[in-house]
Structure 1
């Protein structure tokens, strides 16, 4: 058994003063085979602690169905950290932000009528309790008070940026304590008056999050908490990227100088991030700070931090280690061998499965008088198609998808009319209906639920209705397309039809290594390698390659399936040995 506490302005581990130098690595953004590699590199950089969120939607993907295996094996991640001599900070909030889908909350919450999030709403708290009943007993044996590596755990996450419901925060605190969580509890908020006022909890250590001006941030914290150690729980040494913008970078020297200032003040620090990893599958989040704004996050979570997306040290890694060495005695650096990278070359797609010809093979139709959002149909991620028949004749009128979330391809009698995008207002699709009528189909992509701010209640699909002119349209056939099982697709030879299609190819690997998938010539879609959803690509940038960790490959034959929304003029891809992010 060990103890971790604070007295006065210092932290103590087993009654010895300790300055926490921590880095964030999210187990759910790194394939399990690489957890030890990333953690060893954290320790070699001079860090004594690793921090991770726990993502509720990874662990309870369906209500009452829990998953703690594979990439969701949080216990194993923590055990590896402890084995190599690292302390662990866990942030198991119902909400984590993290640029992660829906801030980590499960999509099925939104299926319940009148659900209120992140507040003292009994139906929400009942779900939190059930989740905690599954999660916290797994963490309790790993607490330092039980001989494990966990020294501290968080209550909620940057709550003062969202609300000021103190009964809610105290409920979470009590929920953790009564389930045996007896390590140091803390909150983290931005260094603003209203954030600290809304997010702090009586009897719980407050920490602050920032990227620069530490003296100013800690002065604000001291205003509200004058008798405790100072800690930056999120030192933003890099930043994340949205589509339609450039790759964010921050100079290594700037990061080193701010860190030096913090350590010289005696502050503890947690780097957000140390290693970002990847938003595999459909788990990227989005920002929507106003009712009309929407900016989805890219698949890469490189974050321009100490380890890049594929786990290799950057200039920032060595600059930070040099600063830490000024303040603490470090052993000679012993980095694991770099993970091999290979360019497997060009692969030609040999099969095509048009969505229009395969939709009934991978989805059962649902009839509805009106369009229904994904969540009401038990669907969490992916795509959804709405189809109806319009009688004719009708004059040319605009199509209005009322409250579209998020991006729609519109077809009339199988011919694409255009694209409507929630994040690009002003686009208009108009059409007339001939004498005999016409079939209207709308393929909607869920591009990631909002993960931060007041608009996190973000249902997906067509959330209100569809109008042609002023008339609402009814009698819809709906197909849910989570793309979780593609085994029934019927592939045919490649055709010249530019329509939403699945493309299939095979490639041979003689020696397994990390690689990067270049998608030059492709427009927008999703990639599956040996059945694993790598994530989204989009030619609007900044991401031009997808990271393919070696453990996803196998020696011999490998399969790649690409769901391309706009059709591929030259259905070929290339595996290269370097990423293109910029």
Structure 2
């Protein structure tokens, strides 16, 4: 009699039917789970990058492709946004709805998936500061990713809470977690003059043991590039990260650790985008070829990413493409983390998804019940909405709840706010009043701006709008050191000077010194005709939901080319809440806020031109859409049914 899918056991029934006596084992050349052979067919999905109401949809789609495991990072900066203040789904932060990691784990198990946890404390992930909370920068001379006692004090406090929550979800306790990763790509910290700190790795392992973690511990690096520099072979299973040439990486793994399973912890299904680059995609045939070779080897695999996601709000990371900490080689990531993955940012199927399903069916000898492939999530292009109101920068500054006076400019992180945790995200405005400015005066900002600055005198914009990628080489952006701008052509008396600086995202990868990512103006003073300006009024613009939703006094929009930074309000009235994309092609640079939640950044320089707006962020009736543009005003906010990317742009407006 033919075996039907309905008569097959689930993965949990197959691997736990006789009771659980052991977890995932790497004590031989292949994996076993509860003493039965298993090949891990895993995919990365980050719970903090996907709206929680869609978790089940994405997880079921993964299982329907034949995957038996899901992998996720844990972002420290979201779970401890202020020093000693934790949020695991109910603490009232703007991201709290994304942070119920226990609910995510339960849902994954209900959808018949095992879980690989990558708790950090450093996660990279093209995520703001590699997952570190920015308040760590307030600790003098802290050395992250080392056994530095100052750093480890905070890691210990965080891990004692996090791991105690995760411990009850371990496989051997009846939960879904079959493995934990220790740190992340730690071998990449190796460079002349610095050897990765093995004491640090031992301390992380001991923290896990102290908190009852008993499942398999792993590390991940490129074995051909870093050997065992980022691991402890006596304690951890080493896994590989790569895009191609799996045989080379797996052969090196076998050389480094004999009689152990081979696994790709990150097989890169695509890649991410930096602002001003072309949109990255990965050839489907190349993807198929490499995945086929991984499974044929044979090896286990975690596809990074399997589910594309979103860097909500200000949470995108960045790279530094040099060894300097001066910011000149800074490359911020886009809001979209679609990654050209098998499942797109909005959960759609791609050709890669079909290829995964085909290859797992071919190679997996263990037959278990696979759910029916879920239908796609509906999308629609809503009609454009008219901009009804405008608040200029000066209007916004009047409503900032906490401001500061300082003799000199200060970084965001050093401001004494948020329970002495500083400012993490958004904008910071430095104001100088009652200035007498002679004609043709020169303003100079010492060092590098972190990361861009808009200059206004008496509310009038001096910068040129960011409309070309080459504009990043000029005044106002991170690449220039000691940049200057001519302020005026006529004498001014009693003038007000505003410098609005945006944090475009802290670096998430690199050598240890590249994590000194303060934001704002902090590398030197601000000078007018070579005289340093003193006694600043500092305004943090965080765009927290409570503040944004309390704004009042909206004025009729002023239509002119360059009014400078302003917040624009429109209302989207809907009867049906479905996924859509906010089309920002006609705007220049800024952020979009929907019902108080900062959706993300946009920039005309691309490549990303639309922002994914999940239907679950909308409500029936009126929805408030706010656009904070640094340079221009537009008459309407448009929508698109799908994403748009600008492949190459050299126009002006």
Other structure's SS at 1:420 match: coil
Q: Deviations over 1:213-260 (max 9, x none)?
A: 011111222232123111110001100001101110111121111111
Q: Conserved in 1, the CA contact under 8 Å of 2:310 and 2:335? A: yes
Q: Which residue of 428, 431, 445 corresponds with 1:387? A: 431
Matched, 1:479 2:539: yes
Matched, 1:104 2:161: no
Other structure's SS at 2:156 match: helix
Other structure's SS at 2:448 match: strand
Matched, 1:416 2:461: yes
Matched, 1:335 2:367: no
The aligned counterpart of 1:403 is 448
The aligned counterpart of 1:571 is 635
Q: Deviations over 1:266-320 (max 9, x none)?
A: 2111000001210111100001132220110000000001001100110110012
How many equivalent residue pairs? 581
The aligned counterpart of 1:446 is 503
The aligned counterpart of 1:135 is 162
- Tell me by how many angstroms 1:112 deviates: 1.8
Q: Deviations over 1:152-174 (max 9, x none)?
A: 00110001101410101110011
The aligned counterpart of 1:293 is 329
CA 1:353–1:524: 2 relative to 1, 3 Å: same
- Tell me by how many angstroms 1:332 deviates: 6.5
Q: Conserved in 2, the CA contact under 8 Å of 1:363 and 1:481? A: no
The aligned counterpart of 2:469 is none
Q: Normalising to structure 2: TM-score of the pair?
A: 0.86
Segment drifting more, 405-414 vs 45-54? 405-414
CA 1:435–1:316: 2 relative to 1, 3 Å: closer
| Structure 1: gaps of 5 or more residues | none
The aligned counterpart of 1:189 is 221
Q: Which protein has the bigger strand share?
A: 1
Q: Conserved in 1, the CA contact under 8 Å of 2:443 and 2:484? A: yes
- Tell me by how many angstroms 1:430 deviates: 2.4
Counterparts of 1:171-182 in structure 2, within 5 Å, are 171-182=203-214
Distance 1:395 1:580 in 2: 42
Q: Normalising to structure 1: TM-score of the pair?
A: 0.96
The aligned counterpart of 2:627 is 562
- Tell me by how many angstroms 1:520 deviates: 2.7
Q: Conserved in 1, the CA contact under 8 Å of 2:320 and 2:330? A: yes
The aligned counterpart of 1:229 is 261
The aligned counterpart of 2:275 is 243
Counterparts of 1:154-169 in structure 2, within 5 Å, are 154-163=181-190, 164-169=196-201
Q: Deviations over 1:7-52 (max 9, x none)?
A: 2211101101101110000000000000000000000111110000
Segment drifting more, 385-394 vs 177-186? 385-394
Counterparts of 1:112-127 in structure 2, within 5 Å, are 112-127=139-154
Distance 1:103 1:33 in 2: 25
The aligned counterpart of 2:99 is 72
Distance 1:528 1:201 in 2: 47
Distance 2:450 2:59 in 1: 38
- Tell me by how many angstroms 1:435 deviates: 6.5
Q: Which residue of 493, 515, 533 corresponds with 2:556? A: 493
Other structure's SS at 1:581 match: coil
Distance 1:238 1:392 in 2: 52
CA 1:248–1:267: 2 relative to 1, 3 Å: same
The aligned counterpart of 2:93 is none
- Tell me by how many angstroms 1:565 deviates: 0.9
Distance 2:363 2:348 in 1: 24
The aligned counterpart of 2:591 is 526
Matched, 1:324 2:360: yes
Q: Which residue of 73, 82, 91 corresponds with 1:62? A: 82
Matched, 1:458 2:517: yes
Distance 2:52 2:531 in 1: 52
- Tell me by how many angstroms 1:201 deviates: 5.0
Other structure's SS at 1:461 match: coil
Matched, 1:553 2:613: no
Other structure's SS at 1:563 match: strand
Distance 1:424 1:317 in 2: 43
Root-mean-square deviation (CA, aligned residues, Å) is 1.8
Q: Conserved in 1, the CA contact under 8 Å of 2:115 and 2:178? A: yes
| Structure 2: gaps of 5 or more residues | 1-19, 90-96, 191-195, 416-421, 464-474, 647-653
Distance 2:482 2:383 in 1: 41
The aligned counterpart of 1:260 is 292
Distance 1:199 1:443 in 2: 43
Distance 1:572 1:488 in 2: 20
Q: Which residue of 504, 523, 527 corresponds with 1:467? A: 527
Distance 1:48 1:107 in 2: 35
Other structure's SS at 2:357 match: helix
Segment drifting more, 338-347 vs 302-311? 338-347
Distance 2:637 2:232 in 1: 51
The aligned counterpart of 1:309 is 345
Distance 1:355 1:128 in 2: 39
Segment drifting more, 286-295 vs 217-226? 217-226
Other structure's SS at 1:113 match: coil
Segment drifting more, 427-436 vs 501-510? 427-436
Other structure's SS at 2:306 match: strand
Other structure's SS at 1:153 match: strand
